[in-house]
Amino acid sequence: MNAELFAANKNILAANSGYRAFTRSTLTAEDKTLHCHDYWQISLQSEKKLLYGIGNDVFALDRNVIQVIPPFTMHGVVGDPDVSPFRWWAANLEPYFLEQISVKPFAFESILRNHLKKGSYCFSLSEENMRLCSFLLTSIHEDVNDRSNLGLLKDISKLLPVIRVILESEPVQPLSFSELPNRTMYRVLQYVDAHFTESLTLKDLADQFGISVSTLSHTFSKYTGRSLYDYILYRRVMLAAQQLGDDIPLNEISSSCGFNDYSNFLRSFHKIHGMAPRDYQKTLRRYAG
């Protein structure tokens, strides 16, 4: 996500008490790029089949599949997606918002994380629950300007049935390795995800996986929506953002995330997040408090 878009999303989430819902009918540039964010996302789509990567898995999304994506989990359409119109409903939920609306024994963030331990990020909905969830998310989206206490209460009352439906639904299994359309690029991406804090070059990867540098460069960009260099830089910055919630000195975070030059870390973080690491850290602490 570019800095302007990230800042806009953060402002929207802050203005809406830590959540927002939206609908759209086309894939955005971000959808077609592997990315992550620091909030939860619950989404579903209709009338379109997509190959969608979440974490280390690839799913064949179809109608009546709801996705639950935790903070800092890489996700996005992989390969060469069909760009024909379709419907997409989603809700972005900040962790602090889930904490605020939780009451014992219902800690919603923990409940969602435990549900994902079933082995999937996607869950199959009945036609009735598909209609229900899309209606509820649309309703929240349409009421976006009502920031009164009553408006917040109404939105929470609409989010809770969506969470209930997720917990009642059966997990959708990811594609097996033999079902993947580009198994070589899948293996390359898994390797990069395991080693992105180390020194990686196109030539090293091309030699390791037995393909030419030009083929790897072109196919990786097509598969992930990013060049190898941009993907590694993005992963390092997002790992740093994830660690900023802990009491770790910034120079240690920079080094552990693969930045040999602290000034490069600062520039890269600001480019992606639209703010300095310390300002991002202050924001996290303000919400946590």
Determine the Cα–Cα distance for residues 238 and 60; give it in Å rounded to an integer: 26
pLDDT range class, residue 83, cuts 50, 70, 90: low
At 56, the pLDDT band (50, 70, 90 cuts) reads very high
What beta strand segments (E) does 47-182 contain?
Answer: 50-54, 57-61, 65-69, 75-77, 87-93, 122-124, 170-171
Q: What angle do CA 285, 161, 139 make, to 5 degrees?
A: 85
User: Could you read off the pLDDT of 128-161 as tens digits, one per residue?
Assistant: 999 999 999 999 998 877 778 888 899 999 999 9
Q: Give the mean model confidence (pLDDT) for residues 258-279.
A: 95
Q: What is the pLDDT of residue 8?
A: 39
Instruction: Please name the residues in contact with 172: beta carbons below 8 A apart, sequence gap of 6 or more.
Output: 59, 65, 120, 122, 123, 124
Q: How confident is the model at residue 85 (pLDDT cuts 50, 70, 90)?
A: low
Q: Say which residues have a Cβ less than 8 Å from residue 53's Cβ, sequence separation at least 6.
A: 34, 59, 74, 75, 76, 77, 78, 189
> In degrees to the nearest 10, what's the CA dihedral of 281, 271, 72, 13?
70
pLDDT value of residue 15: 45
Can you give the pLDDT at residue 147? 75
Which residues are 89's β-sheet partners?
23, 44
- 153 vs 130: CA distance, rounded Å: 23
* Amino acid identity at 34: L
Average pLDDT over residues 180-185: 92
What's the mean pLDDT in 196-222? Answer: 95
3-state helix, strand, coil in the chain (%, to 5): 50, 15, 35
Mind listing the pLDDT tens digit for each residue in 87-108?
A: 899 999 999 999 989 887 889 9
Which is it for strands 170-171 and 19-24: parallel, antiparallel or unpaired? unpaired
Cβ(34)–Cβ(231) below 8 Å:
yes
Tokens coding 58: 């690839």
State the amino acid at position 279 in one-letter form. D
Give the best-scoring range by mean pLDDT among 49-58, 80-89, 209-218. 209-218
Q: How confident is the model at residue 12 (pLDDT cuts 50, 70, 90)?
A: very low
Q: What are the angstrom distances between the C-alpha of 232 and each of 34, 102, 238?
A: 11, 36, 10
> What is the per-residue pLDDT for 124?
94
What are the b/e assignments for 246-280, b being 16+ CB within 10 Å?
A: eeeebeebbeebbbeeeeebbebbbebbbbebeeb
Assess contact for 59 and 45: CB atoms under 8 A.
Answer: no
According to the model, what pLDDT value does residue 11 have?
A: 40
pLDDT tens-digit readout, 227-253: 999 999 999 999 999 999 888 999 999
- What is the average pLDDT value for the chain, to the nearest integer? 89
Mean pLDDT within 183-191: 96
pTM of the model: 0.89
Cβ within 8 Å of residue 138, ≥6 positions away: 21, 23, 89
Average pLDDT value for residue range 41-49: 85
- Contact (CB, 8 A) for 217 and 228: yes
